[in-house]
Amino acid sequence: MDVFAAVAPTAAIESIADFTVTHWLAVFGAIGSLIILEGLLSADNALVLAILVRHLPKHQRTKALRYGIIGAFGFRFIAVALAAYLVKYWFVVLIGGCYLLYLMGHHFLRRGHDEEGTETDIEVEEAQTYARKNQARGFWGTVVAVELADIAFSVDSILAALGVAAGLPRYIQNVELGPFQLWFWVVFLGGVLGIVTMRLVAGYFILLLERFSTLAEAAYLLVGWIGLKLVGVSLRMMFHPPRNPRTGVVSEPAAWTQSVPQILRDFPWEMNPAVFWSGMSSIVIGAFVLGIVRNRRLARLEAAKKVLQEIETEATPIPEPIGVAGAALPRSDTPDKLG
């Protein structure tokens, strides 16, 4: 992204023809990260979309979802193209980063209120209510509902994708590829493949989230980590406006920034790519490790609970049978009395 290029590139790369294996690994690694992130953030969205179309005849449900996914591709392209223009302004990047941090905080704060239900439960309930109230809408009305749901679901994914692309080395981000730079295609392609993957294997993502519940928390930690990256990028842009890779011109910072202490202006606000990707990897690996530990602990607790139940069952005495008048009935081994 040209707005993320504050310094001259460290390697002379003018086109993708100059890419080495290392460069391609970085690009495909970013795209793969976006696919996984899209799946973790949107696995439950497939259930919501299924609820929206279930009132249609069976042969129309798949068609409605297919039209919905085509519309999602179109919206994703328009949104990323708009973002390519808006991210030139540091305050827009700052707002996007703060929004991702808000999503993370909101998720973990809401997680403590079990009585209110999980976010997935709430989304499903809202979709069911909407579907009941709109049973009479036709095929195209349902397609519009699916499109609107896709748009609502994709906002956080697009912002997160911008942060992931910002984690690429700057000299890779700024390579020209058609009318846009390479970072644009990384964000768009990662989002499109993420949507396709989510539609095809949503069930597997849901099973994975059920088996490793820590992955749901990891997804929001990743969102927060990416938000920190964008906030750092915005602060660096504010104090050190980026160089335009096409013209080589560097804009002057706003006059008011000169009143900020020098130590803050010179502080390296933006995360180094190595730090960014190390953090991303650590969050995912940590989630799997904690998930395995938690599952083993739960298995031990269930086994212990079962043993205690068996012990209590064996230790419980058999009560004496009670007669009509409240007196104990004679035992079977008591000899009968003759009158």
Q: What is the DSSP string of 224-272?
A: HHHHHHHHHHHHHHHHSPPB-TTT--BPPPPGGGGGS-HHHHSS--SPP
Contact residues for 264 (Cβ-Cβ < 8 A; gap 6+): 239
Asked if 64 and 56 touch (Cβ cutoff 8 Å), the reply is yes
What is the predicted pLDDT for the residue at 101? Answer: 92
What is the predicted pLDDT for the residue at 9? Answer: 44
Nearest CA to 37 out of 222, 189, 162, 192 is that of 222
Asked if 229 and 97 touch (Cβ cutoff 8 Å), the reply is yes
* Cα–Cα separations (whole angstroms), residue 253 to 38, 41, 236: 36, 37, 10
Which tokens belong to 261? 């202490």
Contact residues for 281 (Cβ-Cβ < 8 A; gap 6+): none
Q: Which residues pair with 243 in a beta bridge?
A: 250
Please give the model's pTM, rounded to 2 decimal places: 0.70
- The secondary structure of 42-91, three-state, reads HCCHHHHHHHHHCCCCHHHHHHHHHHHHHHHHHHHHHHHHHHHHHCCCHH
Which of the residues in the chain have pLDDT under 70?
1-12, 43-44, 111-137, 201-203, 206, 243-252, 254-255, 315-339
What is the predicted pLDDT for the residue at 231? Answer: 92
Rounded Cα–Cα distance for residues 152 and 167 (Å): 25
